[in-house]
Structure 1
Amino acid sequence: MLKQAIPGCEPEDFLLGKEPHPVQFPNHHSTEKHAGYVRQEVQKAIDMGVIARWTPEMGSPTVVNGLRVVESKGGRKLRLCMNPMYPNLFMKIPPVKYETIADVCGFVQEGDWLFTTDDTSGYWNLLLHPSMYPIAAFELSGEIFYFRAMAFGFAPACWVYTLLKQELLRPLRTLSWDLAYLIDDLLSAARSEPEAQFGARLLVRLLTALGFTLGAAKCQLRPAHQARFLGFIVDAEKQALKVPEDKVQGLVALVVGLETQVGAGEPISYRQVAQVAGKIMAMSPAVSLAPLHARVVGQALVGKAAWDAALPDPSMFLQRARIFLSLLELKNGRTWWAKPSPTRLRAVGDASELGFGGLLPDGELGAASSFYVPFTPDQARRMMAGDFSSTEREVSAMGVCLKWIEASRPELTMSSTIQYQTDSQSAMFCVLGMKGAAPCLRAVDELLCWCAERDLELEVVWYPRESNFQEAADALSKHPDLTQWQLRAEVFDSLWMEPCLGGRQPTVDAFADERSTKLPKFYSPTWSPNSAGIDAFAQPWGGPDQLLYINPPFQLMGRVVRKIRDEQANCVLVTPIWPRWWMVTLNRMPVRARHRLPHSGLFECPKGAGGTPMVKSPRYAVEALYIIWD
């Protein structure tokens, strides 16, 4: 950009110092293509006081930024943007945690009534400080203008607008409003239609009174059980996220267009492949296998020379895109908070250097409840060549085991749940994360697509090789887990001196492992020798005799709060003081006491036998809540 604006300059010279240097950038050629639209938008902004003409009394602007017109939806939608990429380099942008569609899944309950709002030209409500005028200028038809309000393109724009909306919505959350927002989009849920109608009217009045402008076409102010939010359909009755039909048809049209392009003998570029992969990945919240298909599609990008270069062989790429479209027709939608189906079958498998073996520990097939299958000739050849990794073998063993079960008793694999036990953590993470090296990813693809065709839920869990059902040793449990942080011992001991407990002592540590547990009884995320249960969310928390100590990974706090509420679990909960939706739910619970925990060195992590524990202080305030239902 700098070399285009000032031919022959040294760009490094313009990056020195703390403030931008004087420079004028040209407008993008798209402003000439849409000249009428540009003039119309600038005049509208002038009339609203967002843009003003630069006057001689103001001196000379420091940076004259370029304008460009961004086209979307096939050119049907235009947006005028300023390109302040150069002044952005000199701005400090604090980190901010944006809310996502996943937050909606935390508070929307079955049968809720939903409504949404969408701000129009929201950034124009944020007036710039006069000191920013010299770097907010642009040129049009030989005349200099400048933005008096936040322009779309300034790096801190999202951060500033998010904090503004956060403070605006904080009182509503204090009043127990269930809502989530991302910049200018907002969704709220209520238990009844009248409550939702009242909330919609109140929110509209509040926003408009504060100067916000709402886009009526994008708002859903008539409460319903379904609402479109952040590109998905939120279905409160089915507790599911769905991909809107127009997005599905958009992907269909894109793939059909590429097939037509190939049929006409025209090449497909890497950029077009990336576009399809991106659209598939964006559907992940509503389609569980979307990440897998997107990564398989994205394999075509490996070794690309340039984004606009031609793809050598588009057939595999188009075939995969078509497979995903077929899957989307069969299953568009992903439920949340659904009650897990009981595990109907346990299977154990392993891979050696010769073949695959496995068994059903509960003997559902009687005397035939075990199997051994040698490698295929191709697998044996790859094994001899050192091209058949242990991770890929373990993933392949899962597929062989499931096919063996289907061949023996087909009903066991139809619309059921199978828990598969493996001694390979790498294989478990490869399947659960739907990613890995290309050969492993292909094996995961075959496995999960096979399961999807049968509506089979596959749960992969890790067990050590020393267990009764695994043959070979695995020494992972001998290595310290450096990611399991816990409260310092003295802080933990002080928790149980609270008078509201009446002398009651904790019964179980809900989130721990062998090294970090504070209590004899604990739940662990994976198998652990003395664990009372694997996966705290799969264990019962309720009961008058229970008093759980809950110090979870804070990113799981939404699920934790929901389970506490649903099961009315008596507990001492360690929680960050964050302005999130689940704070509203906590405020509705019987919190008998709350204590701010000491900040300095609050957490420690065991460093192994004989090692000195590592300590750290959180970046945020942490408190302990005493939630007693009985």
Structure 2
Amino acid sequence: MLLTKYDVAQRVSSTAAAKLLSTAAPTKRKLAAVAGLLMSCKTGAPFSPLFVRSLYDNIKAGQDWDQSLSLSPEAISDLKWIIDCLHRYNGRILKKKLRQHGLLIDVDSSEFSHAAKVFDLATGEFLSELTAQYPVHLQGTSSTLREATGISLLASKAFDLYTEACMLKHCYLRIHVRNDNQSAVGNFQQMKAGSLELLHPVHEFYELCMERDVQPTFEWLPRTSQPIQAVDAASKRLDPTDIRLTNNSFDSIVTRRFNLNNPVMERVATILGRQHWGLPTTDVFASVNNNRAPIFFTKGYDQNTAGIDAYAQPWPVFRNNILQLYWIFLGPVTDQLPAIRKLTEERCDAIFIAPTRTTAPWLGSLRALPIVDTIKLNYRAGLYEAGPSAPPEWNTKPPVVPLTAYFISWL
């Protein structure tokens, strides 16, 4: 295969940069030469303007071109990443012919969550709607950072869901992303970022493209356009289950001691090898900001989730030879019956938190479960706290609903 001038430039620059890393203190002349090579093929290797500025500052320092300069750990890390990009991407981003098959993704991020609508690029067929809550550290940050994070996260999830099926029919795929934030779109188009924090989602996105040989394209759409309006509504959809017990309430439940004078509780305590309820191992109705166990399922996508949609996931009695204890809390105003049916089907041990009721459509099904012990949680300020996607009025006026905790065991 004939090499283009871009292929040659990138291979030369990556080799030179690799040699540079073998020298702890390269000369200013050598650093300037490598910087020039890297800049000549910038479109093939994304890197931050902060790194370019760092190179310039290093080169500018001192008067002697043969003076040795020490590279910071950050500069060495950036160079290693650039070398990897140059080796793997090898000019593919420079191909001008657009691929016709792939995914069209409309992405928007609100103050609640990220959302995306995914379409088949060739036919326009609607495929799915994806959502993901963003972690606490993104709240109150710039809209550009939130939008860039949403693009990177939801594009990767769309890849996971659909490209495997597409690859059975097409060898080369393209992902076309539409968003209403001009700065975020510009950063992805130019493979750059104005800060290291913003560079992270851009880096992750192009890493994914390189791994799967996917061609990325981007388009800015105004907020008033119909596609953006539709996905914006999805990102602002409220979730009444985004609520959790406060730490004090949680601690009072998991430290509850069994009454060993009760034969049923004594038998369960003996089998479990402990005299209290214990910490849950899996939280089946969690969110990125709200989980009570090391393993948790979420409604939307999160890099740490064990699965999407708890009802679609298995609830095994044992996981890695460890007896599981499931934490189930759907909130004070959500129908409990689907979770009770799932628990009945899976027959696994659980701590089930439900509204205290004397009559309810689901109450009979709940009482039919093997309940070992209960705790009444009278409503008080600080019983539970609302998450970012819960109805906003819950932060100042939460539902006044007492709760009951049930320890359920099939042992």
Normalising by structure 1, what TM-score? 0.30
Whose radius of gyration is greater, 1 or 2?
1
Question: Structure 2 length normalisation: TM-score?
Answer: 0.45
